[in-house]
Amino acid sequence: MSNTQNKYWFGKAPGHWSTVRVKSLFRLACESSKDNHGMELLSVYTDIGVKPRKELEQKGNKASTTDGYWIVRKGDLVVNKLLAWMGAVGYSEYNGVTSPAYDILRARTTSINPKFYHYLFRLKLTQGEFRRWSKGIMDMRLRLYFSELGNVFIPCPPLSEQNAIVEFIDNETDRIDQLIEKKSQLIEILQLRFNGEVNEIISRFPFRKLKTVASVQLSNVDKHIYKDEISVNVIHYTDVYYNDVVTSHTQLPKGSVTAYEKQKFSMNGGEVLVTKDSETPDDIAIPVYIESTKENTVCGYHIAIIRPNTSKLDGRFLFWGLKTKIVRDYFSLVAQGVTRFGIPIGKISACSVPYIPDIDVQKKIGLELFAKNSKKNEVSLKIRQSIEDLKQFKESLITEAITGQLDIQSWKKRGSTDERLDNIEEAMRA
C-alpha cells in the first residue's frame, strides 16, 4: 500500500486513503459450472452493468449450452476484457454464470465494498486508464487481461467510507435516474399526442390509391464514388430515417452517378422518399419530405421516390398521410421477409392514402402540421439537452465522490444536489 498524497491517474485523494493495485483487493475467479447447472446466464453491458441476458435479449444468437461457463456470485465484478475500456465492467447483484470470455473479479477480503469499485471502474476517467493498460493493435482488438488490470493502482478508503460513498451514490443517482426517466417519458408523450393529432386531422379524409396521384420509383444509386462519374450529393437511408424534412441546408454525403442516373433520380423539391426495407415490418416505409435540395442531389438505394402529381397532391400533405396509423398498418402488413423485410414497388403504388381534391387545403394542412411538428421538436430538443446535462452531472458527482474530491456529508447538508437539479431545470425552461 502507498499513501494517496502522491498523484495518481485518479487525482489526489484524501491523505488517509491508501492506494493499492487491483490484484491486492481482487483475485481472478475461474470457477467452472457443472453440466445441467440451471443457473442464470448473466452478461455485462456498457450502459447498465451486469444483468440477466434473458431480460434484455429476446432474440438473436443464444448459447446452445452454458455448461462450463464461469460461475458468478453476488458481489463479484464481471469484466468484459474486450470492452472494459468502454465501461463494460459491473457489480453483480445475482448468482449465475457468464461466458468464459469475461473475467470474474472476486474480493480477497471483507474489508472492501466491491460496489465501490463498480462505480470506480465504470467512470469515464477510469476507462482512459483501462485503455492505457489494454493490449492490441487497434481499438477493436484491445483486450484488458487481468495480468495488466491487476497492476492498475486504485484508491482504497477505509471500509466505513466506502460504504458511505456507495450509499450516497446509490441514493443521489437514483434521484437523477428517476428524473431522466420522467423526462424521457415526457418526450414520448409529446410524440404520441402529436401522432394522435395527425391521425385525427388527416385520417378523416377519403382515401385514394397513391398510383392515381403520384409516381413511384426505386433508386439504385449506391455509396461508391467513381472518378469517371458525375459528383453528386446523395440522400441515403439514414438521411430519410432520421429526418422529417430535407432542405438545401441538410448535410448530405457525396457520391457519384452516371448521366442517366442523375436524370432519373435527381431531387427537385416536393418529393417524398420512403425507406423500402427494415429489420422489422413495423419500422418500414418511413417518410421524409424533400422541401428543397442543393444542386446535384440524388436519391440513394434502399429508398423509394414518390413524385406527386403537383396539380393533384401536395408533398407535405402526402408526408403526413404516410404517417397515419392506417397507412403504417398497411405497410407493416404487406412487408415481405423473414430476417429482413422489404416492400415491393407495386405495394407502395397500391397504397391508399388520405386525399382531398382541393390542393390549397392540402397545402394549408401540410404547412400547419409541419409548423406544429417544429414546435414539438424544439421542446423535445430542450428536454433532451436537459437529460444530457443530468447525465453529465451524474458522472461528475460519481467521479468526485469516488475519488474523494467531494465531502458527502457537507454536500448533503447544503442540499447541493437539489441546487444543481434546480439549475438544470431552469436552463431547460429558458
Integer CA distances (angstroms), 226 to 231, 244, 263, in order: 9, 30, 17
Question: How far apart are the C-alpha atoms of 17 and 22, rounded to whole Å?
Answer: 15
Which positions ≥6 away from 168 have C-beta within 8 Å?
Answer: 401, 408, 411, 412
- CB of 101 within 8 A of CB of 81? yes
- CB of 137 within 8 A of CB of 72? no
Neighbours of 77 (CB within 10 A): 25
Q: Is CATH 3.90.220.20 the right assignment for the domain spanning 18-157?
A: yes
- CB of 33 within 8 A of CB of 68? yes
Integer CA distances (angstroms), 174 to 55, 151, 167, 180, 328, in order: 21, 32, 11, 10, 38
The torsion angles phi and psi of 102, rounded to 5 degrees, stand at: -100, 155
Question: How far apart are the C-alpha atoms of 278 and 5, rounded to whole Å?
Answer: 56
pLDDT at 145: 96
Which portions of the chain are predicted below pLDDT 50?
2-6, 59-60
Which positions ≥6 away from 156 have C-beta within 8 Å?
Answer: 1, 17, 18, 19, 20, 25, 112
- CB of 210 within 8 A of CB of 324? no
- CB of 169 within 8 A of CB of 402? yes
**What grid cell was written down for 253?**
454525403
Question: How far apart are the C-alpha atoms of 129 and 172, rounded to whole Å?
Answer: 26
Neighbours of 3 (CB within 10 A): 11
Nearest to 272 by CA among 245, 310, 295: 245
Identify the DSSP state of 65.
-
Is 289 in a helix, a strand, or coil? strand
Grid cell 493498460 is found at 133
- CB of 327 within 8 A of CB of 353? yes
Is 57 in a helix, a strand, or coil? coil
Query: 105-144: b or e for each residue (b if 16 or more CB lie within 10 Å)?
Result: bbbeeeebbbbbbbbbbbbebbbebbeebbeeeeeeebeb
Residue 231: what residue type? S
Nearest to 183 by CA among 426, 415, 388, 398: 388
| CA 385 to centroid of chain Cα atoms | 15
Question: How far apart are the C-alpha atoms of 12 and 365, rounded to whole Å?
Answer: 62
CATH fold of the domain at 207-355: Adenine-n6-DNA-methyltransferase TaqI; Chain A, domain 2 (3.90.220)
Residues in the chain: 430
Integer CA distances (angstroms), 91 to 96, 118, 123, 133, 363, in order: 13, 5, 13, 21, 57
Question: How far apart are the C-alpha atoms of 254 and 233, rounded to whole Å?
Answer: 5
**What grid cell was written down for 219?**
433508386
- Greatest Cα pair distance, the chain, in angstroms, is 82
Question: How far apart are the C-alpha atoms of 168 and 164, rounded to whole Å?
Answer: 6
Question: How far apart are the C-alpha atoms of 125 and 127, rounded to whole Å?
Answer: 6
- CB of 278 within 8 A of CB of 341? yes
**What grid cell was written down for 131?**
485503455
pLDDT at 137: 83
Structure pTM? Answer: 0.83
pLDDT at 57: 62
Question: How far apart are the C-alpha atoms of 146 and 21, rounded to whole Å?
Answer: 11
